[in-house]
Amino acid sequence: DVGLARVAWERAFVLAPRDPEIRGALELARGKSQSPEEPVWAAALRWLTAEEWAILLLSSTAFVAATFCVGKSVSSAVRGIRGVAVLFQIGFAALWIGSIVAKRVGPDTVVVARDVALMQSPVSQAKSIRSLPEGLAFRAGRVHGDWVEALENGRGAGWVAKGNVARFRQ
């Protein structure tokens, strides 16, 4: 079951993004599905979790605060260290915000049934647009009753029955 395996490995990756076993198994599961590639910047920001980026940001904030606590008459070396620390803090803040945005960019739902129909509207009598293969990952949009909207490039591509998909990231 490629779809269910992919959901399990995607969920594990969210919890432990640097685990080599999880990364390898996830690459294998992704390779067996016909999903579009994730943007490189989003994948790079998932090297650490959003919480880990936040810890780095808070640590750099504490360090910057400590450099300001040393007193008014400080050497040029301390001022230089302070400047570098502020730059690191700005960088960590940008990476933390980027990691939050990355969660909203990539796919969050996987098709877990075989040959699922992508429908024009959220009713079973609607016209089928195309068939979605098991294991295909996509970004979910609105939910209407027992239907989930599949998004492509931020736009609604069609509707899939909820029972045929599983979300791996909220």
- For the chain, where are the E strands, in sequence order? 109-111, 116-119, 128-132, 137-144, 147-152, 155-161, 165-167
DSSP 3-state of 140 = strand
Residue 38 has pLDDT above 80, yes or no: no
The pLDDT of residue 31 is above 70:
yes
CA end-to-end span of the chain, whole Å?
22
* Residue 71 confidence (pLDDT): 65
Distance CA 161, CA 54 (A): 37
pTM, full prediction: 0.62
The Cα–Cα gap between 40 and 170 comes to: 20
Q: Tell whether the model's pLDDT for residue 160 goes beyond 90.
A: yes
Residue 107 to residue 72: CA distance in whole angstroms: 51
| Mean pLDDT score across all residues of the chain | 84
DSSP E strand boundaries for 14-154:
109-111, 116-119, 128-132, 137-144, 147-152
